[in-house]
Amino acid sequence: MATFGTIGEFLKGNEDWLEYEERLGHFFCANGITEEAKKRSILLSMCGAKTYKLIRNLAVPQKQGYIPYDELVKLVGNHYNPKPSVIVQWCKFHSRFRKPGQSVASFVAKLRQLLEHCDFGAVLDDMLYDRLVCSINNDGIQRRLLGETPPLTFKKALEIAQGTEMAANNAKDTQKGHGGSQSAAVHQVKRETGKQAKRVECFRCGGTHYWTNTEGKILARRMWKLFS
């Protein structure tokens, strides 16, 4: 019977053991492999010489061929990825603040990454909401979130934060665009007045003013029409 996919040996550094375990699970599922003994044999025959030796040493004094598949996987997982202290992970999560210039989406992605070993359970969304509001480091977004009528879910808070951020960025882009055109106009006037300005007598008030060559030409045309 043909099989779907292949499972190569585990190479530490190229992938995490958890990822390798997940690939094994997909391989078993795709090929309808459910027997405990068969899953164990596939793991031991495909994991590679180095990993096989590691499993053999970790299993002592038992024989690896008699240990259930799930326990073998757990042995290697605990060796490569020992579960960190929950208290330490809580401290890392609650001390995380949004860095200057960091987008809301990027900040939330980092928070989710820190959640992996926090075991918040049913209060996970509440913790995310609290961290988002307290650590956003943006007065506009923070006021917007605090001004909402409770209860406010994390999902809704995230939508508001991202919407406020996008609006602020759009406003900055618009202001930059207007500022650029105004600066160009001012520069043109300064260039004309600086290089081509002439002090001439005003026929209306009798005083003298600075006129650019362009303004002088317009005035000359008007005078010619007036007295011709």
Determine the Cα–Cα distance for residues 25 and 101; give it in Å rounded to an integer: 40
pLDDT the model gives residue 198: 53
How large is the average pLDDT for residues 2-28? 89
pLDDT at residue 222 is higher than 60: no
Count of other CB atoms within 10 angstroms of residue 132: 22
* Backbone φ/ψ region at 64: left (φ over 0), alpha (ψ -120 to 50), beta: alpha
Instruction: Please tell me the predicted confidence (pLDDT) of residue 209.
Output: 52
**What is the overall mean pLDDT for the chain?**
82
Is residue 42 pLDDT above 90, yes or no?
Answer: yes
Domains of the chain, first to last: 17-80 (no CATH), 86-158 (1.10.1200), 193-228 (no CATH)
| Each residue's pLDDT tens digit, 82-133 | 777 889 999 999 999 999 889 999 999 999 989 988 889 899 999 999 999 9
User: Which pLDDT does position 129 carry in this prediction?
Assistant: 92
- Residue 152: predicted pLDDT: 87
Q: Is 6 exposed, middle or buried (0-12, 13-18, 19+ CB in 10 A)?
A: exposed
Between residues 34 and 205, the one the model is more confident about: 34
Confidence of residue 80 (pLDDT cuts 50, 70, 90): confident
Determine which of 7-21, 67-81, 102-116, 202-216 has the lowest per-residue pLDDT on average: 202-216
- pLDDT tens per residue across span 146-174: 888 888 899 999 999 999 999 988 888 88
Contact, 73 vs 54, CB < 8 A?
A: no
pLDDT, tens digit (0-9, with 9 covering 90-100), for 130-151: 999 988 888 889 888 888 888 8
Determine the residue type at 84: P
- pLDDT the model gives residue 200: 52
- Measured distance CA(207)–CA(14) in Å, rounded: 84
Query: How does residue 4 score in pLDDT terms, banded at 50, 70 and 90?
Result: confident
DSSP state letters, 77-144:
HHHHSPPPPHHHHHHHHHT--PPTT--HHHHHHHHHHHGGGT--GGGHHHHHHHHHHHH---HHHHHH
Contact 104, 95 (CB under 8 A): no
By CB atoms closer than 10 A (0-12, 13-18, 19+), residue 82 is exposed
